[in-house]
Amino acid sequence: MCLPGSSLPAEEAARPIIRPESLTPETDKPFHPLPGPATRLRFSDAGGLTPFGAVVETMPPGCLSSLSHWDLAEDAFIYMLEGEIVVHEGGTQTLLLPGQAVCFKAGVPAGHCLENRKPSAAHYLVVGSRRSTETVTYPDHDRILQATDGQPTRFTTLNGQAASTSAYDLTAG
């Protein structure tokens, strides 16, 4: 059923529209120098969504999205909006252009990250599941992160020995 004078059904007309200019851009502070200072607009948080996150990220030239990693419980979907990035997964590198997408399925033990090799910023949508507990493996840095509610709770080496540092600490220099 539509509202009088509207072509939208009543339940859709009541939904708030989230506009990018109404969001406060977030930059990792302090950001790690290796990945670099990506900026995020958290659309899903502004809309009160909890089972998944939807974020538009802007990656400056010469930056990585993260260290190469894979998630045990969380799926991720990347949709390229503007610019181009190189997707690193396992031993492969693939160019991702506007209108193209890549998915990272939970539990697939192939480290992945994104890289912007171009002289201009890249903009992409990230949609991912949110789990209260997660295990993230950094295969190139001999670290596994255990996290609860987005906060690190334990670091181990790949063979399960307790570690006092994260994978990012190992790359600081």
The pLDDT tens digits of the residues spanning 27-59 come to 865 455 667 788 899 989 888 888 899 999 999
Looking at per-residue confidence, does 129 or 165 come out higher?
A: 129
Q: Does the pLDDT value for residue 118 go beyond 80?
A: yes
Q: Is 157 a member of any domain? A: no
Backbone φ, ψ for residue 68 (5° rounding): -60, 130
DSSP string, the chain: -BPTT-SSBHHHHTSPPPPGGGSPPEE-TTPPTTT---EEEEHHHHTT--SEEEEEEEE-TT-BSSSSBEESS--EEEEEEES-EEEEETTEEEEE-TT-EEEE-TT----EEEE--SSS-EEEEEEEE--SEEEEEETTTTEEEEEETTEEEEEE-TTS-EESS-HHHHH--
Q: Is 127 a member of any domain? A: yes
Q: What is the CATH number of the domain that holds 87?
A: 2.60.120.10
Q: Does the pLDDT value for residue 12 go beyond 60?
A: no
The pLDDT score that the predictor gives to residue 4 is: 56
Q: Is 66 a member of any domain? A: yes
Q: Is 104 a member of any domain? A: yes
CA end-to-end distance (rounded Å), the chain: 61
pLDDT band for position 15 (50/70/90)? low
Q: Is 140 a member of any domain? A: no
Q: Is 81 a member of any domain? A: yes
Q: Is 112 a member of any domain? A: yes
The partner residues of 42 in beta bridges, in order of sequence, read: 55
The pLDDT score that the predictor gives to residue 1 is: 47
Q: Is 121 a member of any domain? A: yes
Domain encompassing residue 96: 21-131
Rounded to an integer, what distance in angstroms lies between the CA atom of residue 125 and that of residue 170? 29
Number of domains in the chain: 1
User: What's the whole-model pTM score?
Assistant: 0.83
Backbone φ, ψ for residue 93 (5° rounding): -130, 130
